[in-house]
Amino acid sequence: RPTLCLLLTDQIPTLTKPTLATSALGGFITASTFVLEQPRCTFTGPQDTVIWLVVARPEAVPSFNNSVKPGSPARAFQQFLNSTLAYMTLNTTLLNYPCPKKPGEITVLRVGSETSCTSDANRPTCNGPLPNPGPYQVKFLALNGSEPVAETAWSDPITLRTAKPPSSIPGKGSGRSAGMIALTSILSILFAILLAGLVAMLVWGSDVGGGSSTFSKPEAVTVRRYNTHHVYDQPAARL
Amino acid sequence: MAKSGDGIRILQGLLVFGNVVIGMCGIALTAECIFFVSDPHGLYPLLEATENDDIYAAAWIGIFVGFALFALSILGIVAVIKSNRTLLLVYIILMLITYAFEMASCITAATHRDFLTPNLFLKQMLERYQKSDTDNNNDKWMTEGVTKTWDKLMLRNQCCGVYGPSDWQEYTSAFRKTHIDADFPWPHNCCVMDAQGSPVNLDGCKLGVPGYYNSNGCYDTISGPMNTHAWGVAWFGFAILCWTFCVLLGTMFYWSRIEY
């Protein structure tokens, strides 16, 4: 680190760098937003100290000047990546970062959530969505009035998601499943056997009378008793 | 002669029994296919948009085959009892035609089920859900069908996307064209809703806090009913055809053994 830098800037304390929120949050990094842990128990001092978030491209990090006022054109969100490589947003007082934080509480800051002021020049401290996947580096800066009193170190570079086009999704059909192949082949074989059976039936089965196994249709055989006068008369004659 | 007479009587009895079973299975097949065609889960628009809805065609064929089987089984019972050669021949030929149609239905259902993979639905969802610039009426119809179906699916089953909400982040989509990423990392239907139908905590949903958004994918709720549909048509039809095969072979043998 060049010592020349330290001599030129004010010596304000440098605290632990900001970290991304846990990846258990589904939206901790999206294509235009990211989520940071709040700087709880990082800053000390009067409760009305204002803590700002600085978002910058990595190129702007070595030459970053803490004394440039937030809200000026050199730190306006609307000029980010046009005429400036850093902007300041999400200002709040130390009162809103109480220490220690309650256990089980989710204490995060979502960078990029304000969509209504992205083009509004009257809102230079807009927390607007980031225009491209980055990478970006962030730090917190504590100002008393317009004097920097404390800062955190710069975070590791944060790269946002890049979405792929749907045409990159691999192809449609899967292979033929084993069940479908078994079903098709078995049914085809059975059908072929049936057709063969039909042909055999018509060709050979037509000549009936093949011996003892032939079956005759059951005829209605009835025994009719012939009663004639003679049968009735005879017993009468004997008597 | 008496012994073979008994044998033939047994064959007659078996054929009548076989035809009774075919008749009942025919009615069951018709009922099952009517149930599938009625689309109780409302998934038909998704299939229609894939332009690959042949499992529905298979179910339609199944309805008519079921009726045909029932009618033919009655004809078969009458023909076997009367031992009428002509009737039996008519029965056999009509049964073979019905067999062919049912075979087509089973194979179609089984084959087309294999096309319906998760990636197919993912691609369709990304390209069609909330698509605003539709080319023609057909495109508009399919887009509306897909959008309504997905909205219903996500709300009713508390799920999001095909694999999960990350689908909307990993890929660009028609939805992304009209809904910016910062406000809609995923559709608001992925949020946990209260009784009035609005998100319990919209910021929590956008952040992806477990409990405020649905992190599971909807593929299971799509593939479950579709699998039941396809395998129900295919394998129940297969079972009926195996039984019908035996009955038909028996009938052919019986036909060749009766005199005019």
Record the tokens describing residue B128, joined without a space. Answer: 């069609």
Number of Cβ pairs < 8 A linking chain A and chain B: 169
pLDDT over 80 at B180, yes or no:
yes
Greater pLDDT, B181 or A208? B181
A-contacting residues of B 59-118, CB under 8 Å?
A: 83, 92-93, 96, 99-100, 103, 106-107, 110-111, 113-115, 117
So what's the pLDDT on residue A7?
A: 46
For the stretch A80-94, pLDDT in tens is 888 899 999 998 988
Q: What percent of chain B has pLDDT over 70?
A: 98
Q: Is B175 exposed, middle or buried (0-12, 13-18, 19+ CB in 10 A)?
A: buried
So what's the pLDDT on residue B1?
A: 40
So what's the pLDDT on residue A229?
A: 58
B-contacting residues of A 73-112, CB under 8 Å?
A: 106, 108, 110, 112
Which of B119, B171, B181 to probe by mutation at the A interface, max A CB count within 10 Å?
A: B181
CB contact under 8 A, A32 and B180: yes
Contact A28, A21 (CB under 8 A): yes
For the stretch B99-146, pLDDT in tens is 999 999 999 998 888 888 899 999 999 999 999 888 888 889 999 999
pLDDT over 60 at A158, yes or no:
yes
Which of B163, B245, B249 to probe by mutation at the A interface, max A CB count within 10 Å?
A: B245
For the stretch B34-90, pLDDT in tens is 999 998 888 999 988 888 788 888 999 999 999 999 999 999 999 999 988 999 999
Greater pLDDT, B259 or A151? A151
Contact A166, B171 (CB under 8 A): yes
- Residue B4 with chain A: CB contacts under 8 Å: 212-213, 215
Q: What percent of chain A has pLDDT over 90?
A: 32
In whole angstroms, what is the distance from residue A139 CA to residue A87 CA? 11
Interhelix angle A178-204/B219-255, rounded to 10 degrees, is 20
So what's the pLDDT on residue B52?
A: 79
- Residue B126 with chain A: CB contacts under 8 Å: 166, 169
So what's the pLDDT on residue A209?
A: 45
So what's the pLDDT on residue B2?
A: 43
Contact A180, B114 (CB under 8 A): yes
- Read off the pTM: 0.81
Greater pLDDT, B252 or A234? B252
In whole angstroms, what is the distance from residue A51 CA to residue A96 CA? 10
Torsion, Cα of B40, B43, B49, B51 (10° steps)? -70
Greater pLDDT, A177 or B17? B17
CB atoms within 10 A of CB A224: 5
Q: Where are the domains of chain A?
A: 34-163
CB contact under 8 A, B170 and A161: yes
End-to-end CA distance of chain A: 154
So what's the pLDDT on residue A213?
A: 47
Pick from B145, B161, B187, B190: which is nearest to B53 by CA?
B145
So what's the pLDDT on residue A239?
A: 46
- Residue B170 with chain A: CB contacts under 8 Å: 161, 163-164
CB contact under 8 A, A172 and B171: no
CB contact under 8 A, A174 and B241: no
pLDDT over 80 at A231, yes or no:
no
CB contact under 8 A, B252 and A190: no
* Complex-level ipTM: 0.85
B-contacting residues of A 203-232, CB under 8 Å?
A: 204-205, 208-209, 212-217
Confidence band (pLDDT; 50, 70, 90) for A3?
very low
So what's the pLDDT on residue B4?
A: 67
Could you tell me the CA-to-CA distances from A155 to A59, A91, A106, B117, B189 in Å, in that order? 14, 18, 20, 42, 34
What number is the average pLDDT over the span A49-72?
A: 90
So what's the pLDDT on residue A219?
A: 60
So what's the pLDDT on residue A210?
A: 44
In whole angstroms, what is the distance from residue A67 CA to residue B89 CA? 102
Using a CB–CB cutoff of 8 Å, tell me whether B245 touches chain A.
yes
B-contacting residues of A 112-151, CB under 8 Å?
A: 112-115, 128-129
For the stretch A163-216, pLDDT in tens is 999 888 887 556 778 888 999 999 999 999 999 999 998 888 766 544 444 555
So what's the pLDDT on residue A222?
A: 64
Residue listed under structure tokens 């060749």: B256
Distance from CA of A176 to the nearest CA of B (A): 6
